[in-house]
């Protein structure tokens, strides 16, 4: 592809008078342009996910993830590779960054280093690339000779090849097994692909390495559990992670880690399953290092800590989940509160919803400085459990998780009725991420209205209000409706000048 036809080399009409702008106007323009990058990446999520699956599979087989690039693209690849060992405790040779011109090119531009395909071939060959490796070429233009040479050598060696490019129809697309094409458009400084193209590249690299490491069991929820406490800083971090997941206090978490040779994964499995450290390590090896798979297969310990004088209340919706641990008596004190992600099964799926429930409960116990164990009773008011299948999934989880002697699962409106009415009957209306009305009479009969989701209903919800505002502004733009005070606010939020909108 001729460089003159690259979209990243074309002129950005919004920046034709860049040198006449004030500092504030420059950063406003840059921020607006950057806001479009995530949308461009969004078009390639399926391709990125496929790449993650392949990378994780090859890494399990002792293969490597190898980034190859020149200039900014090469530096970003080296940066992502360098961050993997401290973040995920991966071996330094597992994720590798290669840049045209070698290490010197990391700190200063080496002109012409990218122009030699034979250099790319030699660099890949020097790594003894093979069928278990994944080689990702990084080049905004999609035509960098160094990267094309590297990919050619990788394919000859039988490696899986992918590419991150920012121009459609580039030379690199047909040369790789899986192209990732993020079209960010022209830069505000003509041809300076360290800007939007560089930002897009970093976002994709973050997804590739992080996604693969998560699939390899390097995390438990959002916590970096593939960690061995070998110094004071790591011991403090390991202790904090174990406390969050197990609910133990600092002293008991330290004892658990000491008995597990400082291995966070081993300590977590020992506590959650009742296995010995040796058994936990063996189970982890068999489960490819996944703490969750081990705990799900083995189950919780046979003799967990029991809290007969405590109760749990859990309120879960489409945005977040809140767990409250309190004393079991009238006016009992709240001992701990935990907040986590969404737990609406209909919105985020059962796996993520149950993870949010576990996380919120663990954080509530940790806040109370108590080890997690069954309580006397738990009430779970959750959006999305109106269907029996969804409610049954949560009930099964509560039983397996040994949440409480008695666990009641119902719509989140039931909590509102229980808290807001003297006898627990009446009408509750909730308008949050979604909306629903729920009614119960004196005899315990109940009915509901709404809760159909944003496509079919959710009238009065945050989504519906935002959609109504956008529609009102659009009607004004089409001269089909009156001007609204929301127009300026909306346009300012999305970076559109009012004069351009009115034109």
At residue 131, the 3 state secondary structure works out as coil
Q: How far apart are CA 314 and CA 132, in angstroms?
A: 46
Catalytic residue among 33, 114, 121, 358: 114
Q: For residues 307-339, b (16+ Cβ closer than 10 Å) or e, as one string? A: beebbbbbbbbbebbbbbbbeeeeeeeebbbbe
114 tagged catalytic = yes
Backbone torsions φ then ψ of 301, nearest 5 degrees:
-60, 155
Count of beta carbons in the 10 Å neighbourhood of residue 262: 17
Q: What is the DSSP string of 199-248?
A: HHHHHHHHHHHHHHHHHTT-EETTEE---B--SHHHHHHHHHHHHHHH--
H/E segment holding residue 455: none
Backbone torsions φ then ψ of 401, nearest 5 degrees:
-80, -10
Q: How far apart are CA 177 and CA 128, in angstroms?
A: 19
Indicate left, alpha or beta for 495 from its phi (over 0: left) and psi (-120 to 50: alpha).
left
Pairing of strands 307-316, 223-224: unpaired
Residue found by looking up tokens 């590739």 in the block: 208
Contact between residue 478 and residue 487 where contact means Cβ atoms under 8 Å apart: no
232 tagged catalytic = no
Pairing of strands 375-382, 160-165: unpaired
Backbone torsions φ then ψ of 155, nearest 5 degrees:
-65, -40
DSSP class of residue 346?
H
Contacts (Cβ under 8 Å, ≥6 apart) of 252:
371
Q: How far apart are CA 285 and CA 338, in angstroms?
A: 31
Contact between residue 100 and residue 117 where contact means Cβ atoms under 8 Å apart: no
Active-site annotation, residues: 83, 114
């Amino acid at each position: 592809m001729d460089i003159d036809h690259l979209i990243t080399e074309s002129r950005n009409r919004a920046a034709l008078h860049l040198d006449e702008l004030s500092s504030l106007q420059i950063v406003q323009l840059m921020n607006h342009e950057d806001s479009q990058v995530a949308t461009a990446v969004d078009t390639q999520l399926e391709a990125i996910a496929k790449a993650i699956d392949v990378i994780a599979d090859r890494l399990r087989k002792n293969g490597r993830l190898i980034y190859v690039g020149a200039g900014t693209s090469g530096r970003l690849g080296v940066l992502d590779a360098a961050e993997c060992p401290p973040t995920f405790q991966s071996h330094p040779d597992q994720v590798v960054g290669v840049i045209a011109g070698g290490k010197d090119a990391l700190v200063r531009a080496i002109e012409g280093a990218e122009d030699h395909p034979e250099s790319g071939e030699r660099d890949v060959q020097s790594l003894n690339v093979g069928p278990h490796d994944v080689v990702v070429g990084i080049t905004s233009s999609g035509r960098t000779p160094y990267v094309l040479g590297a990919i050619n050598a990788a394919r000859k060696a039988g490696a899986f090849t992918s590419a991150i490019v920012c121009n459609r129809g580039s030379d690199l697309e047909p040369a790789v097994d899986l192209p990732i094409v993020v079209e960010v458009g022209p830069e505000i400084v003509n041809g300076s692909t360290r800007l939007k193209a560089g930002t897009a590249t970093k976002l994709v690299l973050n997804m590739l390495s992080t996604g693969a490491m998560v699939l390899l069991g390097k995390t438990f929820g959002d916590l970096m559990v593939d960690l061995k406490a070998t110094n004071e800083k790591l011991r403090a971090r390991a202790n904090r992670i174990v406390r969050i997941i197990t609910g133990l206090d600092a002293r008991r978490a330290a004892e658990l880690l000491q008995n597990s040779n400082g291995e966070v994964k081993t300590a977590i499995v020992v506590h959650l399953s009742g296995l010995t450290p040796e058994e936990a390590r063996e189970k982890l090896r068999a489960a490819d290092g996944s703490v969750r798979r081990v705990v799900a297969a083995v189950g919780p310990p046979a003799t967990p800590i029991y809290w007969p004088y405590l109760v749990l209340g859990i309120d879960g919706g489409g945005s977040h989940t809140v767990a409250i641990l309190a004393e079991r008596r009238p006016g009992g004190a709240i001992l701990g509160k935990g907040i986590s992600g969404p737990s609406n099964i209909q919105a985020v799926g059962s796996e993520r919803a149950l993870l949010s429930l576990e996380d919120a409960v663990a954080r509530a116990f940790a806040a109370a400085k108590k080890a997690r164990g069954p309580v006397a009773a738990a009430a779970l008011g959750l959006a999305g459990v109106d269907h029996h299948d969804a409610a049954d999934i949560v009930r099964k989880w509560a039983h397996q998780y040994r949440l409480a002697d008695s666990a009641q699962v119902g719509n989140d409106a039931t909590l509102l009725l229980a808290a807001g009415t003297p006898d627990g009957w009446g009408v509750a209306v909730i308008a949050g991420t979604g909306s629903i009305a729920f009614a119960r009479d004196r005899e315990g009969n109940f009915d509901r209205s709404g809760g159909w989701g944003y496509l079919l209903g959710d009238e009065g919800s945050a989504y519906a209000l935002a959609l109504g505002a956008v529609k009102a502004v659009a009607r004004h733009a089409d001269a089909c409706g009156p001007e609204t005070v929301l127009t300026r606010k909306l346009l300012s939020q999305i970076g559109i000048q009012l004069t351009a909108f009115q034109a």
